[in-house]
Chains A and B, each alone.
Chain A
């Protein structure tokens, strides 16, 4: 099974900061990686699919990169609406999807 790790688990940042979250897969998943944003009491919202493709309507300050086992999500200039928890998810095989443990982005 593919295990996902994320770092950091919590990130304190200010509005306007550049923020980077990393995600690592225990084996190669090519580019079958998505990033989600989740706010309390809400369903996850897809931000990025196939590692680097931005979902429509997602602000361009979000970007994703990486392949095989190492991936990053970057927010170029943190906005008040971006304080949330972010999850990576691998979907390399129908037989097993898995999520990273999440990164909570807090106000510094």
Chain B
């Protein structure tokens, strides 16, 4: 079965850093674009970043560019999001997701990890 399992969330102070990870299994991870999507408490979904199969293309939400870095390790079937200079407004559940697992869409999702930025 396909599994995407996020980890690394927690409580961090404003200005701090956090590294999220997503462990993928049950499919050939290196074949797919991957995304991070977040959801602030009680709010809607917000796309954060995309990365292509070999990590040579990376794209970011404007407010994340320059602070967040998406990366992947295809040998370890893992996706990462390094988040620096965190702000209160970055508080959210962060989901990793796969594009094109079965269909031309973002179709496989993890269960999310909560990041809380607060003093």
Q: Is B73 an interface residue (CB 8 A)?
A: no
Whether A97 contacts B103 in the complex (CB less than 8 A), given A43-B109, A44-B45, comes out as no
| B106 within 8 A of partner (CB) | yes
List B contacts of A56 (CB < 8 A).
102
Chain B residues with CB below 8 A from A53, complex form: 103
Q: How far is it, in angstroms, between the C-alpha of A91 and the C-alpha of B105 when the chains are bound?
A: 8
Q: Is A95 an interface residue (CB 8 A)?
A: yes
A-B pairs under 8 A by CB, number: 61
- A1-B62, A43-B112, A94-B52 known; A102 and B105 CB under 8 Å? no
Which residues of B have CB within 8 Å of A94? Answer: 33, 50, 52, 57, 59
B54 within 8 A of A: no
Cβ B103 vs Cβ A46 within 8 A:
yes
Closest to A1 in B: B62
Interface of A is mostly: strand
- Is the Cβ of A95 less than 8 Å from the Cβ of B59? yes
Q: Is A101 part of the binding interface, using a Cβ–Cβ cutoff of 8 Å?
A: yes
Docked complex Cα distance between A49 and B37 (Å): 17
Contacting B44 at CB < 8 Å: which of A49, A50, A102?
A102
Candidates A43, A87, A96, A101; contact of B95 at CB < 8 Å = A43
B93-119 CB mask vs A (1 if < 8 Å, else 0) is 001000100111111011110000000
Establish whether residues A44 and B33, one from each chain, have CB atoms under 8 Å apart when the complex forms.
Answer: no
The reply to whether B103 and A99 form a contact with Cβ atoms under 8 Å apart is no
Q: Mark A23-51, 1 if CB is under 8 A from B, else 0.
A: 00000000000101010000111100110
Sample of 7 A–B contacts (CB below 8 Å): A36-B45, A43-B109, A46-B105, A55-B105, A87-B44, A97-B47, A99-B46
**A residues at B contact (CB < 8 Å):** 1, 34, 36, 38, 43-46, 49-50, 53, 55-56, 87, 89, 91, 94-102
Interface, chain B (partner A; CB < 8 A): 33, 35, 37, 44-47, 50, 52, 57, 59, 61-62, 95, 99, 102-107, 109-112
